[in-house]
Structure 1
Amino acid sequence: MKTKQHLALLALALLAACGGGGDAPAKGGAEKRAANEPDVPEAQRFGGTIVVGAIGAIPDMNPLTSSDHTANQVQQYVLFMPLITYNEKFEPIPWLARSWEVNADTSELTFHLRNDVFWHDGKKTTAYDVKYSYDMARNPETLFPNTAFWTHYRDATVVDSFTIRIGMRPHADFMDPWRSFSPVPRHVLEGTAASAMKTHPFGTKSPVGNGPFKFVEHLPGQRWVFAANENFPKELGGRPYADRLVYRIIPEPTTLMAELLRGNLDYYIAATADQASQIEASPASRILSFPDRQFLMVGWNEKREMFKDVRVRRALTMGLNREAIVQAVRRGYGELGNTTIPPMFWNHDPQAGAELKHDTAAAKRLLAEAGWQDRNGDGILENAQGQPFRFTIITNQGNREREDILVILQSQLRALGIDVRTQLMEWGSLLDKIQDVENRDYDAVLIAWVTEFRIDDTDLFHCDKLKDPYQWVSYCNPETDRLLDTLPTIVDRNASRPVWNQYQRQIAQDQPYSILYFTRRLEGVHERLRNVNPDARGDWVNIRQWYLLPNMRANR
Structure 2
Amino acid sequence: MASGADLESGNPLVTVHPLSRQLQRHALFVTLVKLDSALQPEPYLARAWQWDPSRRAVTFRLFVGLKWHDGTPTTAADVAFTMAAARDTMLGSPRAGDVAVMDSVLALNDSTVRIVFRDPRAALPTVLAELPIVPRHLLDSVPRARWRAHPYSTAPVGNGPFRFVSRTAGRQWRFARNAEFPAALGGPPHTPHIVVAVVDEAATKFAGLVSGELDVAGVSPTMAHLVERDPSLLLMTPPSLFSTVLAFNTTRAPFDDARVRRALSLSIDRVRLVRAAVAGFATPAAGAIPPGLPYSTAGAPALDTIQADSLLDAAGWTRVRAGAARTRRGTALEVTLLTVGGGDMAVEQLVQADLAARGVALTLRVMELSSFLATVRAPVKHFDVVLTGIPGDIALGHVSAMFATAQRGGALDYTGLHTALLDSKLAAARGATPAAAAAAWQAVAAELDATMPVAWLFHARGVQGRSRRLKGVTMDLRGELVSVARWTREDTP
Same fold per TM (> 0.5)? yes
Name the counterpart of 2:426: 484
| CA distance in structure 2 between the aligned counterparts of 1:222 and 1:542, rounded to whole angstroms | 24
Residues 146 and 461 of structure 1: is their aligned pair in 2 closer, same or farther, counting only changes over 3 Å? closer
Cα pair 2:221 2:281 within 8 Å, conserved: yes
Q: Which residue of 2 aligns with 1:28?
A: none
- Measured after TM superposition, the shift of residue 320 of structure 1 is 0.7
Cα separation, 2, equivalents of 1:236 and 1:189: 24
Counterpart of 2:313 in structure 1 is 368
Taking the TM superposition and a 5 Å limit, the aligned residue runs for 1:413-492 are: 413-436=355-378, 438-455=379-396, 457=399, 460=402, 465-470=405-410, 471-492=413-434
| Equivalent pair of 2:97/2:403 in contact (CA under 8 Å) | no
Aligned residue in 2 for 1:379 = 324
Q: Residue deviations 1:351-407, cap 9 Å, x none?
A: 4xx5x5322222111211222102599811112x3321111011103x225x21111
The whole-number CA distance in structure 2 between the counterparts of 1:101 and 1:271 is 44
CA contact (8 A) 1:119 1:209 kept: yes
1:8 matched residue in structure 2: none
Deviations 1:508-540 (A, max 9, x none): 232221111111111110111012111111110
Distance 1:197 1:503, change over 3 A: closer
Q: 1:185 to 1:500 in 2, by over 3 A?
A: closer
1:374 maps to a residue whose letter is R
Alignment match of 1:315 (pick from 241, 250, 263): 263
CA contact (8 A) 1:173 1:454 kept: no
Q: Is the contact between residue 375 and residue 382 of structure 1 (CA under 8 Å) also seen in structure 2?
A: no
TM score, norm. by length of structure 1:
0.84
Provide the C-alpha distance between the structure 1 equivalents of 2:390 and 2:140, rounded to a whole number of angstroms: 32
Alpha-carbon distance in structure 2 between the residues aligned to 1:459 and 1:226: 28
Counterpart for residue 15 of structure 1: none
- Opposite residue 178 of structure 1, the aligned amino acid is L
Residues 247-286 of structure 1 correspond to what in structure 2 (within 5 A)?
Answer: 247-268=196-217, 270-286=218-234
Distance across 1 between alignment mates of 2:314 and 2:146:
48
Cα distance between partner residues in 1 of 2:492 and 2:307: 62
Distance in 2 of aligned mates of 1:479 and 1:132: 31
Contact 1:457 1:484 in 2 (8 A): no
Identify which range, 302-311 or 514-523, moves more after superposition. 302-311
Higher Rg:
1
Q: Indicate whether 1:516 and 2:465 are aligned.
A: no
| Residues 140/499 of structure 1: CA separation in 2 closer, same or farther (3 Å cut) | closer
Which one-letter code corresponds to 1:423 in the other structure?
Answer: R
* 1:345–1:479 Cα change, 3 Å: same
Q: Does 1:388 align with 2:329?
A: no
Cα separation, 2, equivalents of 1:328 and 1:71:
28
CA contact (8 A) 1:222 1:248 kept: yes
- Contact kept, 8 Å, 1:81 with 1:96, in 2: the verdict is yes
Q: 1:498 to 1:185 in 2, by over 3 A?
A: closer
SS of 2:289's partner is coil
Structure 1, unaligned runs of 5 or more: 1-51
Q: Distance in 2 between the 1:412 and 1:365 partners? A: 16
CA shift, 1:546, in A, is 0.7
1:280-306 Cα shifts (integer Å, max 9, x gaps): 110111110022111111111101221
Q: How far apart are the structure 2 equivalents of 1:503 and 1:185?
A: 35
Q: How many angstroms does 1:310 deviate by?
A: 2.1
Distance 2:136 2:424 in 1: 37
Question: Which residue in 1 is equivalent to 2:343?
Answer: 400
Q: Measure how far apart 1:422 and its partner are.
A: 0.7
Segment of structure 1 superposing worse, 170-179 or 304-313: 170-179
Q: Quote the residue 1:176 is aligned against.
A: 126
Query: Does residue 188 in structure 1 map to residue 131 in structure 2?
Result: no
Distance 1:309 1:461 in 2: 21
Query: Which structure 2 residues correspond to residues 63-212 of structure 1 after superposition, within 5 A?
Result: 63-170=12-119, 171=121, 174-205=124-155, 207-212=156-161
CA distance in 2, matches of 1:78, 1:499: 35
What is the CA–CA distance in structure 2 between the aligned matches of 1:283 and 1:459, rounded to whole Å?
A: 38
Moved more, 192-201 or 171-180: 171-180
Three-state SS of the structure 2 residue aligned to 1:141 is: coil
**Equivalent residue runs for 1:15-94 within 5 Å:** 52-94=1-43
d(CA) in 2 for partners of 1:163, 1:236: 17
Shift of 1:458: 5.9
Can you give the 5+ residue segments of structure 2 that lack an aligned partner in the other structure?
Answer: none
Task: Give the AA of the match of 1:501.
Answer: Q
Moved more, 93-102 or 415-424: 93-102
Structure 2 residue matching 1:485: 3-state secondary structure: helix
8 Å Cα contact 2:89/2:407 also seen in 1: no
Cα deviation per residue 1:140-177 (whole Å; 9 max; x = unaligned)? 22232221022221222211110011221125654211
User: Which range moves more in the overlay, 511-520 or 500-509?
Assistant: 500-509
**One-letter identity of the residue aligned with 1:454:** A
Distance, in Å, in 2 between the alignment partners of 1:467 and 1:293 is: 22
Amino acid at match of 1:361: I
Deviates more, 1:311-320 or 1:520-529: 311-320
Shift of 1:60: 1.2
Which whole-Å CA distance do the structure 1 matches of 2:186 and 2:330 have between them? 67
Question: Which amino acid is 1:535 matched to?
Answer: D
How high is the TM-score relative to the length of structure 2?
0.95
SS at structure 2 position matched to 1:286:
strand
Q: Which is worse superposed, 453-462 or 172-181?
A: 453-462
CA contact (8 A) 1:84 1:95 kept: yes
2:56·2:118 contact (CA, 8 Å) conserved in 1?
A: yes
3-state SS, counterpart of residue 498 of structure 1? helix
Cα distance in 2, alignment partners of residues 444 and 75 from structure 1? 30
Q: Which residue does the alignment assign to 2:181?
A: 232
Q: How does 1:545-556 map to 2 (within 5 A)?
A: 545-551=486-492
Distance 2:114 2:360 in 1: 55
Supply the RMSD in Å over aligned alpha carbons. Answer: 1.9
Rounded to whole Å, the distance in 2 between the matches of 1:344 and 1:96 is: 29
State the alpha-carbon separation in 1 of the partners of residues 211 and 238 from structure 2.
Answer: 25
